[in-house]
C-alpha cells in the first residue's frame, strides 16, 4: 500500500496518501515500525492482518517521482502491479470521500502517472 504525496508537506492535500498510511499503521499497531529504506527511497513499515502481509510505503521523493519508489519497493518485495494499492488525493472527490478503482488512467494525477510509467502498468 503506497501513500502518494510530497514527503514533508504534511497537512496539505498532497500528503493525504501518506496521512492515510500513518493512520493505517496506527490501526495495525505498526506505527512505531516505520524505517527509512534507502533502497527504494521511502519510509517502510511491515504489517500482518487477516493472514495478509502488507508493505506500507511512503515515498520520500516528490509526487511526480513517487513511482520510482513504488517500483523499487515492488522489486525488493517481489510484488506485481496487481499487488499494489495507491492511496492519493483526488480533487474530483469531496473531502473525506473514498473510492476504489482498478486500473485505468492517471486522470491527470502526477503521482499516479509516475507509478503507471515506472511499473509499466495501469
**What are the two backbone dihedrals, phi and then psi, of residue 15, each rounded to the nearest 5 degrees?**
-110, 10
The catalytic position among 14, 88, 109, 120 is 14
Number of Cβ atoms within 10 Å of the Cβ of 31 = 16
Please indicate whether residue 88 is annotated as part of the active site.
no
Write out the chain in H/E/C secondary structure: CEECCCCCCCCCHHHHHHHHHHHHHHHCCCHHHCEEECCCCEEEEEEEECCEEEEEEEECCCHHHHHHHHHHHHHHCCCCHHHCCEECCCCCCCCCCCCCCCCCCCCCCHHHHHHHHHHCCC
Which residues have a catalytic role annotated? Answer: 14
Amino acid at each position: 500500500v503506497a501513500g502518494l504525496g510530497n514527503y514533508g508537506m504534511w497537512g496539505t492535500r498532497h500528503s493525504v496518501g501518506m496521512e492515510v498510511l500513518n493512520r493505517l499503521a496506527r490501526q495495525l499497531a505498526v506505527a512505531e515500525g516505520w524505517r527509512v529504506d534507502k533502497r527504494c527511497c521511502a519510509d517502510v513499515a511491515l504489517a500482518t492482518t487477516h493472514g495478509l502481509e502488507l508493505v506500507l510505503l511512503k515515498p520520500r521523493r516528490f509526487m511526480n517521482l513517487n513511482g520510482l519508489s513504488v517500483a523499487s519497493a515492488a522489486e525488493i518485495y517481489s510484488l506485481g502491479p496487481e499487488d499494489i494499492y495507491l492511496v492519493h488525493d483526488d480533487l474530483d472527490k469531496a473531502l473525506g470521500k473514498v473510492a476504489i478503482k482498478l486500473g485505468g488512467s492517471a486522470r491527470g494525477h502526477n503521482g499516479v502517472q509516475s507509478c503507471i510509467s515506472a511499473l509499466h502498468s495501469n
